[in-house]
Amino acid sequence: MLLALVGNNCAPQELKAENIPHEVQTAVESGHFSELYTLDARMNPFYLRGDFDGDGKPDYALWIKTKVDGATGMAIWLSSRREFIVLGAGKPFRFFGSTESNFNDLDVWEV
């Protein structure tokens, strides 16, 4: 499975968290994750579905931002682990030969 990220400009969308599976929505809206992050409507679509870990079950990548300073990134929900892995959003992540902690310059993504 390949998750591609590309720089481009997109208009914000109306964000409807109820569009994501209930289990993922509950994790977004509760606990430590909800204290630090919120879903980011700037990316369209704000979430993607795919089998990111090869276990045959759907996983979800959600575009997020920090509540403190608005740094953007993504949260990967692996259904096998039932938890988020955060990339960027204030946490350093290495891709394309550089280390980034804010994905504000990325505007397009796809599986």
**7, 40, 51, 107 from 46: Cα distances, Å:** 15, 7, 17, 11
In this prediction the pTM is: 0.77
Residue 32 and residue 73: Cα distance in Å, rounded? Answer: 17
Q: What is the pLDDT along the chain (111 residues), one digit of tens a residue?
A: 555 555 555 555 566 666 788 888 888 888 889 999 999 888 788 889 999 999 999 999 999 999 999 988 899 999 999 889 998 888 877 766 666 677 777 777 878
Tokens at 60, concatenated: 């979800």
Tokens at 58, concatenated: 């759907």
